[in-house]
Amino acid sequence: MDIKDIKDLVELMVANDLSRIEIQQGETHILLRRGQPIVVSSLAGAPAAAPPANPAPAPSAPVAAPPAPVSASDTYIRSPMVGTFYSAPDPDSPAFIKVGDRVEPDTVVCLIEAMKVFNEIKAEVRGTITRVLASNAQAVEYDQPLFAVAAS
Amino acid sequence: MDIKDIKDLVELMVANDLSRIEIQQGETHILLRRGQPIVVSSLAGAPAAAPPANPAPAPSAPVAAPPAPVSASDTYIRSPMVGTFYSAPDPDSPAFIKVGDRVEPDTVVCLIEAMKVFNEIKAEVRGTITRVLASNAQAVEYDQPLFAVAAS
Amino acid sequence: MFNRILVANRGEIALRIIRACRDLGVQAIAVYSRADRGAEYLNLAHDAICIGGESPGSSYLNAAAILSAAEITDVEAVHPGYGFLAENATFAQMCRDCKIEFIGPSAESMRLLGNKVAAKKLAKKSKTPCTPGSDGPVESEDQAVDLASEIGYPVMIKAAAGGGGRGMRAVHNEASLRSHFRNARAEAENAFKDGTLYVEKLVERPRHVEVQLLGDPSGHVVHLWERDCSLQRRNQKLVEESPSPHISARTRRKICDAAVRLARAAGYYSAGTCEFLVDDQENFFFMEVNTRIQVEHPVTELVTGVDLVQWQIRIAAGEPLKLKQEEIEQRGAAIECRINAESPEEDFRPSPGPIQHLFLPGGPGVRVDTHAYSGYTVSPYYDSMIAKLLVHRPTRDEAIAAMRRALAEFRVSPIKTTIPLHQKLFEHADFLRGCVDTGFVERTFGPATWKPA
Amino acid sequence: MFNRILVANRGEIALRIIRACRDLGVQAIAVYSRADRGAEYLNLAHDAICIGGESPGSSYLNAAAILSAAEITDVEAVHPGYGFLAENATFAQMCRDCKIEFIGPSAESMRLLGNKVAAKKLAKKSKTPCTPGSDGPVESEDQAVDLASEIGYPVMIKAAAGGGGRGMRAVHNEASLRSHFRNARAEAENAFKDGTLYVEKLVERPRHVEVQLLGDPSGHVVHLWERDCSLQRRNQKLVEESPSPHISARTRRKICDAAVRLARAAGYYSAGTCEFLVDDQENFFFMEVNTRIQVEHPVTELVTGVDLVQWQIRIAAGEPLKLKQEEIEQRGAAIECRINAESPEEDFRPSPGPIQHLFLPGGPGVRVDTHAYSGYTVSPYYDSMIAKLLVHRPTRDEAIAAMRRALAEFRVSPIKTTIPLHQKLFEHADFLRGCVDTGFVERTFGPATWKPA
């Protein structure tokens, strides 16, 4: 990753009117944003299917499962990457957040492990957690809703 | 053609709720009808494309041409067979009918020649001819509108 | 070559003939009934003309209407496809009397082979093995009983003019023979206006193996190897394949040579098919000759690389059949599934109506012949086949895997199709092992097997 | 054989790989970007997982996301398809470091052959003819000028790391060489982060002929004959065929043997393609090796009957390559048209958007590879190819007739496609005679020819 790549990505964002690009590659982590922070409501598109708890499913058990229930009024904190969801910094600690907690854009809400790297995921929105949609150690897709938030 | 075939055709009509079957085979001519005489308006389906005047078109000239203009209020006397349309009993005689003439169901409106046999075509409807849609010696398809009739 | 021919049929076979015409640079004139107006395949013809109403009798079976259409469109030949008038010798003669070539064999050989008794006589003459039985009409019930006890039960009662299983009865003893003889005759009377019956030995658990033939009027006849059509339901073929998994190379040679001998004896030309029954010991018995192109002809096209419909047209146009027997190879394995608009769950009741979504399979080794598309309406007036799905792969096992893949890709809604039955067939051990007979489908997938899970 | 592999690509090639997996009984896990969510082909995979946003950088080019997906779905191998990460040696190494097999050649041979200068060195070592030119990087403008005057104009400036025509310049005299040298270097810098240039003799009116290769790690390498891809527009292939109409049987042998020698010298395994330029005298010059499956691979599958994608997977799973060179026949003629969602009338501007009606061609000799269907939306984020239309017939003339027929059947609306261009190509005397070069399309079908009639 050098400045050239960043330039390309920015061009790409402008050309395609993307509001956010986030890339995690080995050690490198890049987050680009344009305009207001992305807040996708279920009206803007069906949420991704939620993978099952087992991060390495048996060949017989497909990853896809019925999507988590969502309501039009909610907004979501979505997974910015494919990986494994962890609700707490370590098995002995309490979860980063629970239903009813207020979050600020920079509040860390969970960890997602990808390629042996644990990534702190921030809320990116301001509001109150209404539901937790992913369970600890669950495999998650890109764009998958992790938390429902009543914005404020 | 024997009584068995007729029986089959009748079964077919009943099974498929057909209102009319007409068959011309060499010398044989068969007409079967159920319910009221068939009167198809242009609402009931687009009219057949009208073949051009030349009954034996050059390979370059396709038979199909833009359909004759039709209006929803009209009903049609349609060709009961594929063949060549003749508006008069012979070249020296006047046409069987012209615009403005009243027709009864058994009024002969034209001849259609198929397999060297000249078939007298009857109006099958009661009304006044509003337009003549086929021209003399023109090749016509089955079901093609020949005359527009204001029913009465 | 012809400049212009009339395609006297509908649906997928009309499209198949139109495609052959385009490949040959011949103008195809399509005919259609009011029910088929607006079908997409008509746009692929040079021109299309409406010849009658929905009922086949007023359109596709209406010889006068078809010949009138041929006259006003100035065609040089008529291709009848299969079904409808394809095996009607009178129609063939009518065409030729009008100086319009009928794309098929001579009316004489159609008549000769169309009559089962005459065809069987010819078969014997040309040393083609036949099932033991009455070598002619059986006049009376008693005569039938005597014959049956002589050749031994079970025996088959068949209509001389028969086809499609009508007028056919399998009987296992004198009592059932006597009880079925009369109604078989009545059925034949109704179906074919000819009550002539004959009786022959019933081949038990038979395989259906047929040989594809091509010939020209000069007497040059070749075979294009066999097709196995043992997967049938009520005498309707469901799956066809080549090579046959049931016969050895030696039997293959013998059966193909026998078919060629018979065709030569009949002075046969154009495309045709000689059908045989084959028992477990690979004994084969002549059944009948179909004097038309068949639904399942693409199976042979895939394994031989020969375009059968193009050859029908070429031969009718007077081209000599250039194929040499030793050049015709049977390469790899090909299988066809007939996809019908029928509901297997409801005893295969036809399921006509509009198709909202149609996703066709594709990719390696797949051929699809269909006149259907998203937005097409399956008409209730004609047979329910909406597509022929074929695969061609180096081996039978690979062909089966490819067919499973293609069946999974094939999506039709909302109408019901036979795809679920085909998917069951392609998982069944007996079919995979290649040992099924013509009764297999009804024994294995009868109504009981379709109870809602 | 693997139980489960990840398909690290999208569109038709993802579907192609999924089909190969189904035929092999391997579970395919598809990955998709937010733009491809809901695409039909994803339903044919055992499972599908979203790996990123619309931009390739965040999804199909995102090695970390793909490997994370591979980890959580527990696959044993990754198939990269073509484009995206297919020729990225680093990604191949990353996969193998994670104990996930990369379905392709070794990272070493990818690096070796990915570098034009190194590849050319190897070609010379293995007696594969190369275009005369700098046998290494050209450091300065002056050095380039000296070399050019030595080998004679016209010459080609090329980027060592190049591809897709970027960093390439044809110059016909010293002035234009000097003026283009600098911006070619800048372009190479931008495109490949490597400004290394080299200079070689420009082959005028060249044909593009490439040889399909298969090899296994034991060193067994075979060729599957050639493809002719001379019909190009701005270095993008439009039509590919096999056999090449441009070369004699003798040249065919020589060029195929040369490709095999080079692959052996590179210790190459899996599927690959060796590209050559051929001049009017049938002299051929090595261009480059593509270390991936190619868009046009089905052309070779049709003439040889060999499933290339299945073999890629088999070889990656450790199966020995069982094909013997003498058993690989080139049968009949196959042609592919790339159907792109582009408007020929508007200088081939991409024409993305929803497809309302899609009627695919079918019937004898036709193969269609497409992920599109009625209701599919062509995404603006990725390349514009929506289908590969292929025909396979006994002769080139018959293949051309079949392609004309299939192009006429192919209906896509309302988006614009390149079908009108293909229809013009298949009527053009030069193409029919089989004498075109890589500049033919731009010379003959430039913007001027698309003026509204």
User: In the prediction, which pLDDT does D298 show?
Assistant: 98
Interchain proximity D58–A21, CB inside 8 Å: yes
pTM for the whole thing? 0.83
**Length reported for chain D:** 453
CA nearest to D352, candidates D319, D396, D385: D385
Interchain proximity A84–D72, CB inside 8 Å: yes
User: In the prediction, which pLDDT does D190 show?
Assistant: 83
**Subunit partners of chain B (3 or more CB pairs within 8 A):** C
Q: Give burial (CB, 10 Å; 0-12/13-18/19+) of D380.
A: middle
Q: Which of C24, C26, C308, C359 to mutate to test the interface with D (most CBs of D within 10 A)?
A: C359
**D279-327 confidence digits (pLDDT tens):** 989 999 999 999 999 999 999 999 999 999 999 999 999 999 999 999 9
Q: What is the mean pLDDT of residues D349-375?
A: 96
Q: What is the mean pLDDT of residues C141-166?
A: 85
DSSP D196: -
CB contacts of D69 in chain A (<8 Å) are 82
User: In the prediction, which pLDDT does A30 show?
Assistant: 59
- As a three-state string, the secondary structure of A29-72 is EEEEECCCCCCCEHHHCCCCCCCCCCCCCCCCCCCCCCCCCCCC
Identify the closest residue of chain D to A85 by CA–CA distance.
D72
User: In the prediction, which pLDDT does C299 show?
Assistant: 98
CB contacts of A23 in chain D (<8 Å) are 57-58, 62, 64
- Please indicate whether residue C265 or residue B50 has the higher confidence score (pLDDT): C265
Pick from A42-46, C31-35, C320-324, D365-369: least confident: A42-46
ipTM of predicted assembly, 2 dp: 0.76
Interchain proximity C375–D357, CB inside 8 Å: yes
- Cβ neighbours for D339, distance < 8 A, ≥ 6 positions apart: D370, D385, D386, D387, D388, D389, D410, D412, D417, D418, D419, D422
Interchain proximity C68–B114, CB inside 8 Å: yes
CB contacts of C409 in chain D (<8 Å) are 44
CB contacts of D193 in chain A (<8 Å) are 2, 4
Q: For residue C172, report the phi and psi dihedrals to the nearest 5 degrees.
A: -110, -5
Pick from C256-270, C388-402, D157-171, D371-385: least confident: D157-171
User: In the prediction, which pLDDT does B72 show?
Assistant: 54
Per-residue burial over A28-64, b = 16 or more CB atoms within 10 Å of its CB, e = otherwise:
eeeebeeeeebbbebeeeebbbbbeeebebeeeebbb
Distance CA D144, CA C147 (A): 99
Residues of chain C with a CB closer than 8 angstroms to some CB in chain B = 3-4, 27, 29, 34, 37, 46-55, 57-59, 62-65, 67-69, 71-74, 190, 193, 380-381
Does the pLDDT of residue C46 top 80, yes or no?
Answer: yes
C324, C222 contact by CB (below 8 A): yes
Interchain proximity C4–B59, CB inside 8 Å: yes
C226, C182 contact by CB (below 8 A): no
Which positions of C are catalytic? Answer: 292
Average pLDDT, chain C: 94
Active-site entry in D16, D207, D233, D292: D292
CA nearest to C105, candidates C262, C238, C261, C217: C217
- Tell me whether the omega of the peptide bond preceding residue B105 falls within 30 degrees of 0, making it cis: no
Does the pLDDT of residue B15 top 70, yes or no?
Answer: no
- Cβ neighbours for D40, distance < 8 A, ≥ 6 positions apart: C359, D371, D373, D376
Interchain proximity B8–C57, CB inside 8 Å: yes
Q: What is the mean pLDDT of residues D420-438?
A: 95
- Please indicate whether residue C449 or residue D361 has the higher confidence score (pLDDT): D361
Helices (runs of H) and strands (runs of E) counted in chain B: 1, 10
- Cβ neighbours for C333, distance < 8 A, ≥ 6 positions apart: C241, C242, C243, C303, C392, C393, C394, C395, C396, C398, C399
**C1-25 confidence digits (pLDDT tens):** 999 999 999 999 999 999 999 999 9
Q: Which of B33-37, C75-79, C200-204, D181-185 has the highest mean pLDDT?
A: C75-79
Does the pLDDT of residue D5 top 80, yes or no?
Answer: yes
Q: What is the mean pLDDT of residues B44-65?
A: 35
Does the pLDDT of residue B63 top 70, yes or no?
Answer: no
Residues of chain D with a CB closer than 8 angstroms to some CB in chain A = 3-4, 27, 29, 34, 37, 46-55, 57-59, 62-65, 67-69, 71-74, 190, 193, 380-381
**D393-408 confidence digits (pLDDT tens):** 999 999 999 999 999 9
- Give the closest of C44, C369, C394 to D305, CB-based: C394
Longest dimension (CA), chain C: 60
Identify the closest residue of chain D to A26 by CA–CA distance.
D64
- Give the closest of C62, C69, C381 to B23, CB-based: C62
Beta bridge pairs of residue D158: D198
Residue D12: which H helix or E strand, with range? helix D11-24
With an 8 Å CB cutoff and a minimum of 3 pairs, decide whether chains C and D touch.
yes
- Give the closest of D19, D298, D402 to C405, CB-based: D19
- Give the closest of D57, D65, D381 to A81, CB-based: D65
Question: Amino acid identity, residue C420?
Answer: P
Average pLDDT, chain D: 94
Residue D361: which H helix or E strand, with range? none
Pick from A51-55, C85-89, C313-317, D203-207: least confident: A51-55
The DSSP annotation for D254-293 comes to: HHHHHHHHHHHHTT--EEEEEEEEE-TT--EEEEEEE-S-
Interchain proximity C398–D23, CB inside 8 Å: yes
- Give the closest of C307, C358, C409 to D44, CB-based: C409
D292 tagged catalytic: yes
Question: Amino acid identity, residue D34?
Answer: R
**Subunit partners of chain A (3 or more CB pairs within 8 A):** D
DSSP D166: B
User: In the prediction, which pLDDT does A52 show?
Assistant: 33
Cα distance from D86 to chain A (closest Cα, Å)? 18
Pick from A123-127, B58-62, C222-226: least confident: B58-62
**C292-340 confidence digits (pLDDT tens):** 999 999 999 999 999 999 999 999 999 999 999 999 999 999 999 999 9
- Please indicate whether residue B129 or residue B67 has the higher confidence score (pLDDT): B129
Pick from B75-84, C184-193, C285-294, C383-392: least confident: C184-193
- Give the closest of C19, C305, C331 to D363, CB-based: C19
Q: How many CB pairs under 8 A join C and D?
A: 91
Residue C295 CB neighbour total at 10 angstroms: 23
Interchain proximity A4–D193, CB inside 8 Å: yes
Does the pLDDT of residue D45 top 70, yes or no?
Answer: yes
Average pLDDT, chain B: 71
Q: What is the mean pLDDT of residues D236-260?
A: 97
Structure tokens, A83? 């990986």
